[in-house]
Chain A
Amino acid sequence: MMNNMNHIRNALLVSVALLLGACSATPELEADAVEPMLPMPAPPADPDEKGISYSNDPWEGFNRRSYYFNAKADEYVILPIVNGYQWITPDIVETGVSNFFSNLGELTTFMNSVLQLKGERSATTAFRFVTNTTIGLLGVWDPATKMGVYKEREDFGQTLGHWGVGAGPYFVIPLLGPSSARDASGLLVDTLVFNAIISELDMKSEEELALTLMRAIDTRKNIPFRYYGSGSAFEYELIRFLYFNAREIAVKR
């Protein structure tokens, strides 16, 4: 059994590595192509230095394809579903649904606050979860915020960052969007833990599936970002730059 698991894991790792490395982002130049007139500025002296055009992105070929794939998935599948959901659902119900999932998300924040030894944040998050789950009727209402206890977010990517793990290469996760090697692993851990907790609720498998789908729709609904929405040819670079900076701030908090 264990052996099989190891085989599967190794096979997965190898295929991920192949997948990421296989696609190239370097231009395939025609025979008569000419080097651009304006010279390429010298790369920064410090290899860790990140900028808009220079970043830790060895998987760029894969990432750009994933970015494009996500835009198309958004356009043809995800956003139509989100729009349909918003069209049939009264606003007050949408807010309730968002609150409900946000309340479940406190579990992740709680776990990661504890792992970062942030006592006060663990306590306020636990208070929010208990208050909103009871008085707030399973989290549909958010009385804790009205009491002045505000929501915080902590995920396992932040926890790893807190203990000194660097962000690692940029990684655009298919369907999910911009991330990094560290944050994608963190997401995997958070999801496994979340699912383990959910399975404790003894729901039927189709109920669990519905819950997962609803959570995905609600998550996308609350992110205003649209792929290629800026109209800038350099949107990929700008988002990459902002992602790393925003996450650095999130880790610090």
Chain B
Amino acid sequence: MKRILLVGAMLLLSGASYAAENYDFPFTDPFKATVFGTPAAYKADLPKDDEINREVLSLDIFPEREVPEVFWYQEEFEYSVVYQEKPAPLVFSIAGTGGKYNGGKMKALEKAFFKAGYNVISITSPTHASFIVAASESQLPGDLANDAEEIYGVMQKTLAHAKDELGDKLQVTDFYLTGYSLGGAHSAFISKLDEEKKVFDFKKVFLVNPPVSLYNSVIILDGYVESVGTAAVKQTIDSIFRRLGENVSHADRVELTPDFIYKMFVAAGVNDAELAQLIGLAFRLSSTDMIFAIDVMQNWGAITYKNHEISKHESISHSFARGAQVGFLTYFEQAMVPIAEEKDPSMDRTQMINRLSLTSLAGYLMSADKISVVTNADDIILASPDLAFLTKTFGDRAKIYPYGGHCGNMDEKVWVEHMLAFFAAEK
């Protein structure tokens, strides 16, 4: 039986343009890949933190906006810029759901691009509280086309601001664009918008593990929590901590490194069902943060008191407890759909789901030679028809690794080489 499956898999693999040459990634299990990422030994050789020119800048995008006291630390919009101190192309990089400009994946991208001679501006996801509070006009993230317009505006403002701040250190020749996960989907919409507006006239656009249908992906990720319930997730987390504790107490040497933590997870026998719940929990934490920020900014009163100014020393644990019960899907059904219908009565739920999807850009994506996509055959956020859509739409501009989960392989050697080669190629 195993052999038949193997032969079947090989036949399947030989049909598509699979990029397996020298690709060396240890986890063939997508949940492990997603949670643990690339172990140190398999990582591309990237510069250290202090070996790149990087500045964190902040910009007051809405000087007239009064930021609620509970968000006193988000008054300005923070972003990072990596600069070459000579004329060089610039890559705009967009974070994934709930991701900040300085997350691990964003920093790894910065280093790879710096080493290859690019400037970089890293932008926090529109789904992160920082963007909602300090950079968003609508303060209703999730509608990809609208998000793209807002990011496009923020890109122009941060670039002008960074040039002001850095002077000659930042000299830009051409523009490139990339984003991972939700930031990948955003990048596709931004590229389309840029075809009309031509502010940047991107040379190349690189989509990393994008969701094809945001709705499908959210159903999958939220499903990891919904299928068992929040009480069961809590028990799972407690149990994982307990088992980790037992194994740490028997370890020869305790080190706070990713590889050590992975070893402890293996020793504790954390299984795929539990890893899935961890992924679901991480997604739930992001969406709770997002819903809280929107709720505060819009005075909706969903998980906060309506008409109440939260003081900076006030407990908001109750809002967390309320918000963690629901996910992004509830936000979609209870907020995004009704608001969209109110704005445009001809819009219904199905159309809304289609709008939040790369399929709505299929014609553009098929013809846009400058865009390429990279993903993994086992990416957990892709529902069954999604991978086929990507290979069909992008053809040989789609690079699909056999495994790597969702964004787990982003700093593997061959992966990084491929990304840089795509940006460097003439075509």
With an 8 A cutoff between CB atoms, is B305 at the interface? yes
Separation in Å of the B139 CB from the closest CB of chain A?
14
Contact A252/B248 with A28-B311, A33-B306, A54-B317 known, Cβ cut-off 8 Å? yes
**Contact residues in A for B325 (Cβ distance below 8 Å):** 38, 41
Contact A37/B249 with A27-B308, A54-B321, A233-B293 known, Cβ cut-off 8 Å? no
Q: A26, A228, A233: which contacts B289 (Cβ < 8 A)? A: A233
Separation in Å of the B263 CB from the closest CB of chain A?
15
**Is the pair A32, B307 in contact by a Cβ cutoff of 8 Å?**
yes
- Report the bound CA distance from A29 to B315 in whole Å: 13
**Is the pair A232, B314 in contact by a Cβ cutoff of 8 Å?**
no
**Is the pair B312, A34 in contact by a Cβ cutoff of 8 Å?**
no
**Is the pair A232, B289 in contact by a Cβ cutoff of 8 Å?**
yes
Contact A38/B314 with A231-B128, A231-B130, A253-B249 known, Cβ cut-off 8 Å? no
**Is the pair B320, A234 in contact by a Cβ cutoff of 8 Å?**
yes
**Contact residues in A for B308 (Cβ distance below 8 Å):** 27, 29-30, 33
Question: Which one of B68-76, B346-354, B408-416 is at the A interface?
Answer: B68-76
Contact A64/B318 with A30-B307, A234-B292 known, Cβ cut-off 8 Å? no
**Is the pair B323, A38 in contact by a Cβ cutoff of 8 Å?**
yes
Contact A29/B322 with A150-B253, A231-B100, A233-B71 known, Cβ cut-off 8 Å? no
Q: B129, B302, B312: which contacts A36 (Cβ < 8 A)? A: B302
Separation in Å of the B108 CB from the closest CB of chain A?
17
**Contact-residue size bin, chain B (C-beta under 8 Å from the other chain):** 35 or more
**Is the pair A33, B320 in contact by a Cβ cutoff of 8 Å?**
no
With an 8 A cutoff between CB atoms, is A123 at the interface? no
Closest A-chain residue to B310, C-beta based?
Answer: A27
Closest A-chain residue to B230, C-beta based?
Answer: A41
**Contact residues in B for A41 (Cβ distance below 8 Å):** 230, 321-322, 325
Q: A65, A150, A245: which contacts B252 (Cβ < 8 A)? A: A150
**Contact residues in A for B253 (Cβ distance below 8 Å):** 150
Separation in Å of the A105 CB from the closest CB of chain B?
15
- Report the bound CA distance from A35 to B325 in whole Å: 17
Separation in Å of the A13 CB from the closest CB of chain B?
24
Contact A36/B322 with A53-B317, A232-B285 known, Cβ cut-off 8 Å? yes
Separation in Å of the A174 CB from the closest CB of chain B?
14
**Is the pair B320, A53 in contact by a Cβ cutoff of 8 Å?**
yes
**Contact residues in A for B305 (Cβ distance below 8 Å):** 27, 29, 33-36
**Contact residues in B for A29 (Cβ distance below 8 Å):** 305, 308
**Is the pair B320, A61 in contact by a Cβ cutoff of 8 Å?**
no
Separation in Å of the B325 CB from the closest CB of chain A?
6
With an 8 A cutoff between CB atoms, is B269 at the interface? no
- Report the bound CA distance from A253 to B248 in whole Å: 7
- Report the bound CA distance from A203 to B426 in whole Å: 69
> What 1/0 flags go to A220-253 for Cβ under 8 Å of B?
0000000010111110011000000100110011
**Contact residues in A for B302 (Cβ distance below 8 Å):** 36-38
With an 8 A cutoff between CB atoms, is B185 at the interface? no
**Contact residues in A for B73 (Cβ distance below 8 Å):** 71, 228
| Residue tally, chain A, CB below 8 Å to B | 43
With an 8 A cutoff between CB atoms, is B301 at the interface? yes
Closest B-chain residue to A23, C-beta based?
Answer: B313
With an 8 A cutoff between CB atoms, is A39 at the interface? yes
**Is the pair B244, A231 in contact by a Cβ cutoff of 8 Å?**
no
**Is the pair B303, A25 in contact by a Cβ cutoff of 8 Å?**
no
Closest A-chain residue to B321, C-beta based?
Answer: A53
**Contact residues in A for B310 (Cβ distance below 8 Å):** 27
Separation in Å of the B111 CB from the closest CB of chain A?
17
Separation in Å of the B333 CB from the closest CB of chain A?
14
**Contact residues in A for B311 (Cβ distance below 8 Å):** 27-28
With an 8 A cutoff between CB atoms, is B326 at the interface? yes
Contact A26/B315 with A232-B289, A233-B292 known, Cβ cut-off 8 Å? yes
> What 1/0 flags go to B89-129 for Cβ under 8 Å of A?
00000000000100000000000000000000000100011
- Report the bound CA distance from A19 to B249 in whole Å: 37
- Report the bound CA distance from A38 to B330 in whole Å: 11
Separation in Å of the A43 CB from the closest CB of chain B?
9
> What 1/0 flags go to B62-83 for Cβ under 8 Å of A?
0000000011011000000000
With an 8 A cutoff between CB atoms, is B309 at the interface? yes
Closest A-chain residue to B70, C-beta based?
Answer: A233
With an 8 A cutoff between CB atoms, is B58 at the interface? no
**Is the pair A39, B252 in contact by a Cβ cutoff of 8 Å?**
no
With an 8 A cutoff between CB atoms, is A106 at the interface? no
> What 1/0 flags go to B244-256 for Cβ under 8 Å of A?
1110110011100
**Is the pair A60, B315 in contact by a Cβ cutoff of 8 Å?**
yes
> What 1/0 flags go to B13-54 for Cβ under 8 Å of A?
000000000000000000000000000000000000000000
**Is the pair B324, A245 in contact by a Cβ cutoff of 8 Å?**
no
- Report the bound CA distance from A232 to B74 in whole Å: 10
Which residues of A14-68 are within 8 A (CB) of B?
A: 23, 25-30, 32-41, 51-55, 60-61, 64-65, 68
With an 8 A cutoff between CB atoms, is B241 at the interface? yes
With an 8 A cutoff between CB atoms, is B234 at the interface? yes
Could you name 6 residue pairs across A and B whose Cβ atoms are closer than 8 Å? A28-B314, A34-B301, A37-B300, A41-B322, A51-B234, A231-B74
Listed in ascending order, the chain B residues whose CB lies under 8 Å from chain A are: 70-71, 73-74, 100, 124, 128-130, 230, 234, 241, 244-246, 248-249, 252-254, 285, 288-289, 292-293, 296, 300-326
